[in-house]
Chain A
Amino acid sequence: MKKLIIVSWLALLFSVSIQAQTDTLKIKTSSVCENCKRTIENDLSFEKGVKAATLDLDSNLITVVYNPKKTTPEKIRQRISDIGYDADDVKRNPKAFNKLPDCCKSPDGHH
């Protein structure tokens, strides 16, 4: 009985959800440090239609996997701007930028 409970619980954990059709998008941003990476990735993971978001700090590129039926590249860029970072040609929202942690506010994103 105990074993059964454990096994069924594990099965529940690993049941793979069926993936919808997705597109991939690369967005140039203005991140500086690990803090920025965490903020952007975490925030985008909650954005409707976004399946995954990974930021590469070296190239400052965010790779976004999204469902085109639920969101658009414009909406994703707007969201990045809303949390205080540039997204391609969409400039960051200055109010949000001011609330970022100190290390994320270094000029041009570099020391």
Chain B
Amino acid sequence: MNFIYRMIGTMLLVLVVVSVRAQSGMIRGTVVTTAIDKNLRLGLPGAVVRLLPGDTAVLTDVGGNYSIPYIGTWPLQLVVSFVGYKTDTISVYSESVPDIQLVGSVELQEVSVTGKKEAVGYSRINPLNIERVGEKEILKAACCNLSEAFESSPTVNVAYTDAVTGAKEIRLLGLSGIYSQLLTEAIPNYRGIAGAYGLYFIPGPWMESIQVTKGTGSVQQGYEATTGQINVEFKKPNEESVPRFFLNLFGEQNGNMELNTHVKHEFNEHWSSILMAHGNYMNGNQDLQDDGFLDIPHAQQVNLYNRWHYNSGNRLESQFGWRYVYDLRKGGQFGVMNHSQGLYTTDVLNARAEAFGKLGIVFRDKPGKSIGNIAQATIHRLNARFGITTYNAQERTLLLQSLFENSFNNGQHHIKLGVNYRYDEWTELIDTIDQKTVESVPGAFVEYTYNHADDFSVVIGQRLDHHNTYGFIYTPRIHAKYNFSEEFILRASAGSSFRVPNIFADNLSMLASSRQIIVAPDILPERAWNFGFNATWHFMLNDKEGAINLDAYRSVFSSQLIVDRVTAYNEVLLYNLQGASYSNSGQVAVDYEVLDRLNVRLAYKRDDVKVAYNDSLQRKPLIPYDRSLLNLAYLTANEHWRFDYTIVREGRKRLLPTYVDPTFDSQATQSPVFITMNIQVTKVFRKFEAYVGSENLLNYYQEHPIVNADDPFGPSFDATNVWGPIDGRRIYAGIRYAIK
């Protein structure tokens, strides 16, 4: 608690200092445009702002901001011009000017009609390899939550980790989600015990966009993130494109129902707020495999999010809010009890409360200069039961960060300096074993960006943390980008990472089996390096934009907690890595608008993931050897209909050794190749949208996801050998209603 007070103190101090520094004789404002993206008012960089009378002129910075010195009496006139836009003249009556909006000139308007923003964008400016998943892309998924937002993304895959509780994990660059970092608006979130079901806690309609950084991340968010960062941006109350009222109702043939709603209010030019709510109820009994186990657990979720935004109009911006989620999932056997020990059931209860605050100070006269402060506190409770095994945990975290950034020489040099502190405390009770862990980690970082003209830039980041158990941790990271031309861009990155594994929370699904869990003494923290290379080629063909994107990444562990399920079918061995552990991931993706408003994405990915299990280097099980994806998205000319189609071919996976059931002939060592298809049609009406679709249209599912499902309390029961879909075809329909 002390830290929060100290933090508030620092913020106030900074505030006072800033207001004393106020200058006179400068007119400040921002030039914006909606010609780049019709849903967003974006700052327009490089526009010429000229003061009349006289001929003082300045250029707007990256954010579209300008400041121009004046002498004279009000009103003065500003002439704003930019190639391809209509020149605008406005009268100004004070030093702070409302946003000036430039509209495209005639020629450019035609471009803006045909050249829509693509749903997945590859940046031309950022040295980091970031793939943007826009709202359009998020809408392509049936529903629900973050775990389904990546269905048409080649980069991020989501897989079930057991066949009973519905737990899913993200996979990036061939490695499990624990090695990438999940951020909500640039704050690390859903770590530790919240990790296992964290993807379920972010409802789809709340998200504005997702940014996926491949390879080592920025040092700003800490020493984790070996394979990348997934940042979720939520809908913001101060954005015009967010409707004042929104309602979404959704239902599936399997019995799943959802409700999403939000209310936005702008109190005045400074204050705005949004309240979002999500409810989910699933009560269907589906059992395609006829093994007596529910394919999809019964679920109930209530999720609330309220955030506030304050903008002083000149230099101060603040946001704060809270989130609360209650999520209960009941899976396992259903129906008539047919053995003496009763039914094998699972209950997983997650309850989480979060509060966050952000305070930012921008210096209008100094483009690129700002101060940002972040605070976040969370409390999470997880009560899980798998048959007769129980896991109960509670976690409390506090995160504080202060960041100062500044640009020199017209943005040629940019520097970020920051300090942060993370406090994490969790208590766990596994059956009767009790343990308490505390992590207290202060750290500092510096990130320097050098931009050479328009063609080369490099970001060098370094951070030093002090962990209460493991001492000092040094994390260096570098990202470089070279533009051979406007169209052809090369990127390279290298960086180290550090992570303290959480034996049970990271591997909760291993409790859904009769395997004996054997943990070696003295588990060490994990250390890895990631090296990456990316080439992006933007092209124009038949007056249509397209892009080819090539990725090659390698992650190498020098220390890792190995979860060995391959040495014996009836044991999970957890021990420190002795030998090699790496993941090589290569991907090629092509995006192109083949015909008017018909966008095609074709991608192929190959992952080579190997781990030394007891000194023998072996392929990591349940990771596909390769994966291909084709996505077609079509929008009619009047934009009243949207069609989306995705087909995925998932390659072979190595399977876990399991007890050989005499009813099945022999033990399979590899899963078959399989294909899944998703389809969605949306009809836009004047006041609302309606959509229908199907996931896994071909109704492909794994025949026996649970080994020895007939004897769940016996020694060979295992629900973790999951390589394919469990729940078969899903058909859904929904409506979205919005008041602008």
| Interface 0/1 of B94-119, CB less than 8 Å to A | 00000001011010010010000000
Q: Is the CB of A45 within 8 A of B90?
A: no
Provide the A37-48 mask, 1 if CB < 8 A to any CB of B, else 0. Answer: 010001101100
Interface size class, chain B? 20 to 34
- Contact yes or no, B643 A2, CB < 8 A: no
Residues of B within 8 A of A6 (CB): 645, 647
Closest to A59 in B: B106
Interface residue? B661 (CB, 8 A): no
A108 contacts partner chain B, Cβ-Cβ < 8 Å = no
A94 close to chain B: CB less than 8 A: no
Q: What are the residues of chain B within 8 A of A9 when measuring CB–CB?
A: 645
Contacts of A61 in B (CB 8 A): none
Chain B min CB distance to A27 (Å): 18
In angstroms, Cα B103 to Cα A58, docked, is 10
Contacts between the two chains (Cβ within 8 Å), count: 42
**Which A residue's beta carbon lies closest to that of B687?**
A46
**Partner pick for B101 among A5, A33, A38, A46, CB 8 A cutoff:** A33
B634 A35 Cβ-Cβ under 8 A: no
Closest to B630 in A: A6
Q: Which of B62-113 contact A (CB under 8 A)?
A: 86, 88-90, 101, 103-104, 106, 109, 112
Are A111 and B686 in contact, with the CB atoms below 8 A? no
Known contacts: A2-B675, A38-B38. The answer to whether A33 contacts B103 by CB under 8 A is yes
A23 proximal to B (CB < 8 A): no
How far, in whole Å, are A58 and B87 apart by their CA atoms in the complex?
A: 12
Closest A residue to B684 by CB, please name it.
A46
Pair A58/B106 contact, Cβ less than 8 Å: yes
Kindly provide the distance from the CB of B52 to the nearest chain A CB, expressed in whole angstroms: 14
Interface membership of A101, Cβ < 8 A: yes
Does B101 contact A103, Cβ atoms closer than 8 Å?
Answer: yes
In the complex, what residues of A have CB within 8 A of residue B103's CB? 33-34, 57
Judge whether A34 and B638 touch: CB under 8 Å: no
Contact of A18 with B by CB under 8 A: no
**B640 close to A (CB within 8 Å):** yes
| B240 and A46 contact, CB distance less than 8 A | no
- B34 lies within 8 A of A46 (CB): no
B35 on interface, CB distance cutoff 8 Å? yes
- A residues 9-67 in Cβ contact with B at 8 Å: 9-10, 13-14, 33-35, 38, 42-43, 45-46, 52, 56-58
Contact in complex: B638, A13 (CB < 8 Å): no
| Minimum Cβ distance to chain B for residue A65 (Å) | 11
Known A-B contacts A35-B34, A111-B90; A45 and B638 likewise in contact (beta carbons under 8 Å): yes
Contact of B88 among A46, A52, A111 (CB under 8 A): A111
Give Cα A45–Cα B112 distance, bound, in whole angstroms.
Answer: 18
Q: Determine the chain A residues whose CB is within 8 A of the CB of B89 once the complex forms.
A: 111
In the bound complex, do residue A33 and residue B109 qualify as a contact, i.e. CB atoms below 8 Å apart?
no
Question: Which single member of A5, A34, A46 contacts B686 (CB below 8 Å)?
Answer: A46
Taken together as a complex, chains A and B put the C-alpha atoms of A28 and B44 apart, in Å, by 30
- A101 and B38 CA atoms in complex are apart in Å by 14
CB distance from A62 to the nearest CB of B (A): 14
Residues of B within 8 A of A5 (CB): 677
Cross-chain contact B598 with A13 (CB below 8 angstroms): yes
Chain B residue nearest to A10 in the complex (CB): B632
B639 beta carbon closer than 8 Å to chain A: yes
Enumerate A94-108 residues with CB–CB distance to B below 8 Å: 101, 103
Q: How far is the CA of A102 from the CA of B685 in the complex (A)?
A: 25
The 0/1 profile, CB within 8 Å of A marked 1, for residues 17-43 of chain B is: 000000000000000001100100000
Contacts of A101 in B (CB 8 A): 240
Cβ B34 vs Cβ A2 within 8 A: no
On whether the beta carbons of B686 and A43 are closer than 8 Å, the reply is yes
Chain A hits for B35, CB < 8 A: 34
Kindly list 6 other residue pairs between chains A and B, CB separation below 8 angstroms, not including A9-B645, A56-B106.
A13-B598, A13-B643, A38-B38, A52-B638, A58-B86, A111-B90
Interface residues of A (CB under 8 A from B): 2, 5-6, 9-10, 13-14, 33-35, 38, 42-43, 45-46, 52, 56-58, 101, 103, 111
Would you list the 8 A-B pairs with minimal beta carbon distance, nearest first?
A: A46-B686, A34-B34, A45-B638, A111-B90, A13-B634, A34-B103, A33-B103, A103-B101
Q: Which B positions have Cβ atoms within 8 angstroms of A?
A: 34-35, 38, 86, 88-90, 101, 103-104, 106, 109, 112, 240, 595, 598, 632, 634, 637-640, 643, 645, 647, 675, 677, 685-686
